[in-house]
Homo-oligomer: A and B are copies of this chain.
Amino acid sequence: MIRLEFAIELKYEIADNPADFVFNIHAAHTSWQSVFAEALSLSQPVETAMHADAAFGSRYLRFRAQPGALAVRYDATVDITHHLEPPARIQEVPIAGLAPEVLPFIYPSRYCQSDRLRRFAAREFGHLRQGYWRVQAIRDWVAQRTTFTVGSSNVSTSAMDTLVEQVGVCRDFAHLMIALCRAVNIPARFVTGIDYGAPQSMGPPDFHAYVEVFLGSRWYLFDPTGISLPMGLVRIGTGRDAADVSFATMFGSVKSFAPVISIDAVDDPAGGFTLPGHCVDAISTHGEPAMSR
């Protein structure tokens, strides 16, 4: 089992009028990721509401803050179990066999216009043998074609832009891989989190975005940026694309400052906790009920 400890510090300055916030920064509650300890502190005495998404375990924190400074700090220790599977055993699922909960993830979304990429994806990936390796080929194609450049994209950048311009940050890599998977009828979705194990050359820890693809009877993890260790990924939000799982949504006149994030892994083999490492197997932290027909 992997135990990760992380902290997220956010700062805002609210102008003249109260502003509403929706945060999606809590570690998700799933059967593969349990929260051992967590703490939230807010610099303003606000009344908060929290709700969890039953399907994904995502948690949303909402409140109204007053003009002036706002600081939000969230600390958590999470324990993550990984399902490992040899890639050769993992098959794609025909449309007719997808559970209803999975079906929405083959459709286009705000930033993943898979409807416009059908010919492109068919030409590049249509002839490959189906299975985990085809998805891995899509992931590698995105990784090789796209240059990671901070500041190269903005909140309007979509998979189509990234396909053409071949540059972006983690959300752009994820959007492009998702769009290409859906374009060949493979369900794919967008996950946000914090990652342990990125090389220091990538700068200080930050929010990360990665991909889950539905194969066999599970959602498997892929990181097309190649930055993270997939075993070192904490799940926060899960959705169709970045439009669903922004870590902070603000309604009002608010100035944001850069998040400050730290993460560590517990190295205690005796206690049952090993450091995240590289892994040749496919990794999943989310199963799915079988389709009932």
Which of A's residues lie within 8 Å of B, judged by CB? 20, 22, 49, 51, 53, 60, 62-64, 94-96, 100, 103-104, 107-110, 113, 115-117, 119-120, 123, 145, 147, 154-156, 160, 163-167, 185, 243-244, 246, 249, 251, 291-293
User: How far is B20's CA from A107's CA once the two chains are assembled, in angstroms?
Assistant: 14
Choose among B95, B165, B251 the residue that contacts A116 (Cβ–Cβ < 8 A). Answer: B165
Closest to A49 in B: B293
Least distance between A150 CB and chain B CB atoms (Å): 15
CA distance A183 to B181 in the complex (A): 28
Extra A-B contacts (4), CB below 8 Å, given A107-B243, A109-B110, A110-B113: A60-B100, A62-B95, A110-B110, A113-B156
Question: Residues of B contacting A166 with CB < 8 Å?
Answer: 119-120, 123
Measured between beta carbons, the chain B residues less than 8 angstroms from A251 are 95, 185
Q: Which residue of B lies closest to A62 (CB)?
A: B96
Q: How far in angstroms is the closest Cβ of chain B from A239?
A: 9
Q: Is the CB of B154 within 8 A of A64?
A: no
Cβ contacts A to B, 30 pairs, < 8 Å: A20-B95, A20-B96, A22-B95, A22-B103, A49-B293, A51-B100, A53-B100, A60-B100, A60-B103, A62-B95, A64-B96, A107-B243, A107-B244, A107-B249, A108-B110, A108-B243, A109-B109, A109-B243, A110-B113, A115-B155, A115-B243, A116-B156, A117-B164, A119-B147, A119-B166, A120-B166, A123-B166, A154-B154, A163-B164, A185-B251
A251–B243 CA distance with the chains assembled, in angstroms: 26
Secondary structure of the A contact surface, majority rule: mixed
Residue of B nearest to A144 (CB): B123
Taking the closest CB of chain B, its distance from the CB of A15, in whole angstroms, is 14
Are the CB atoms of A165 and B120 closer together than 8 Å? yes
Contacts of A156 in B (CB 8 A): 113, 115-116
Report the minimum CB–CB distance from A98 to chain B (whole Å). Answer: 8
Chain B positions within 8 Å of A22 at CB level? 95, 103
- A-B pairs, 6 with minimum CB distance: A20-B95, A119-B166, A51-B100, A49-B293, A64-B96, A95-B251
A95, closest chain B residue (CB):
B20
A201–B103 Cα distance when bound, in Å, is: 38
Which residues of the other chain, B, contact A109 by a CB distance below 8 angstroms? Answer: 109-110, 243
Q: Do A164 and B116 form a contact, CB below 8 Å, given A20-B94, A154-B154?
A: yes
CA distance A53 to B101 in the complex (A): 9
CB pair B160 A164 closer than 8 Å: yes
Q: When the two chains form their complex, are residues B164 and A145 in contact, meaning their CB atoms are under 8 A apart?
A: no
How many angstroms from the CA of A156 to the CA of B22 in the assembled complex?
30
A165 and B156 alpha carbons, distance in the complex (Å): 11
Most buried by B among A96, A155, A246, A291: A96
Give A244 to B244 CA distance when docked, in angstroms: 14
